[in-house]
Amino acid sequence: MKKYALLLTIFVLLIYSSCATNPMTGKKTLNLVSNSELFPASFQQYGKFIKENKVVQGTAEAKQVENIGVKIKEAAEKYLNSVGQNQYLNDYRWEYKLVESKDLNAWCLPGGKIVVYTGILAVTKDEAGLATVMAHEVAHALANHGAQRMSASKLQGLGAVGVALATGGQSAENQFLWQQLYGVGSQVGVMLPFSRAHESEADQIGLTLMAIAGYNPQEAIAFWKRMAAQSGGKTQPEFMSTHPSDATRVANLQNLVPQAKAMAAKFGKIY
């Protein structure tokens, strides 16, 4: 029993000592990975990706990605300055690239490295649609979602060790069964809801950022409806997905638009 108590103590101490308040959300978040560890690895990964893929340069679309990226960055700076967190972005190294790919995707690595795939431009349609996408991806980085996911994975692994210790005296068949139950239960009951919460959080932060940057947040709803149309309704059940359902996402955004407009008004943006 002593080893179980020790493991539980370590588990609790890890959680307690690794919670910090994120200035973008105002919430305490689990973070076992510091920016000093995460950002260099992120920048290296980004550099490798850029070398191995075709970056679009000099086109109107590439310039639009750059211009929107700068506006979103400045919006983040304005917001953080307003809450007394002007130092929060000190270690960010912003870059905004358009990359040739048919994928309907975009991403922002920790530290501000943003990539938009050309394939998604057919869905963004206009500058406001593209701002919706980029603000959402930047929001993931500003909320430290990457570090939180890594932290959660570490705790999930520690939990698996705990299950192994607790069932060590049982038959191999029972040990395997308990590990399987733990794996499915922790994934469906913890990790997937955790990911969906991050998506909803990025929607909320992204909506605010695009509004401060000068884009009507109402346009985000039109974009996500266009994205939903791309799936043709062929999506897996929400509880099995890393993302909220299309209907949930649109409904949440509709509820968040007034809040985003109110925040933008503080910075002189009226919609």
Residues belonging to the active site:
137
Burial of 135 (0-12, 13-18, 19+ CB in 10 A): buried
Question: Tell me, what DSSP letter sits at residue 96?
Answer: E
Question: Residue 216: phi, psi to the nearest 5?
Answer: -60, 120
Q: What 3-state DSSP class applies to 28?
A: strand
Provide the residue count of the chain. 271
Q: What 3-state DSSP class applies to 32?
A: coil
Unique residue bearing structure tokens 């570090």: 147
Instruction: Report d(CA 3, CA 1) in Å as an integer.
Output: 5
Instruction: Report d(CA 207, CA 187) in Å as an integer.
Output: 28
Half-sphere exposure in the Cβ direction for 242 (13 Å, CA):
3
Question: Residue 97: phi, psi to the nearest 5?
Answer: -125, 140
Instruction: Report d(CA 248, CA 176) in Å as an integer.
Output: 36
Instruction: Report d(CA 187, CA 240) in Å as an integer.
Output: 9
Burial of 192 (0-12, 13-18, 19+ CB in 10 A): middle
Unique residue bearing structure tokens 């430290």: 144
Rounded to 5 degrees, what angle do the CA atoms 133, 135, 137 make?
A: 70
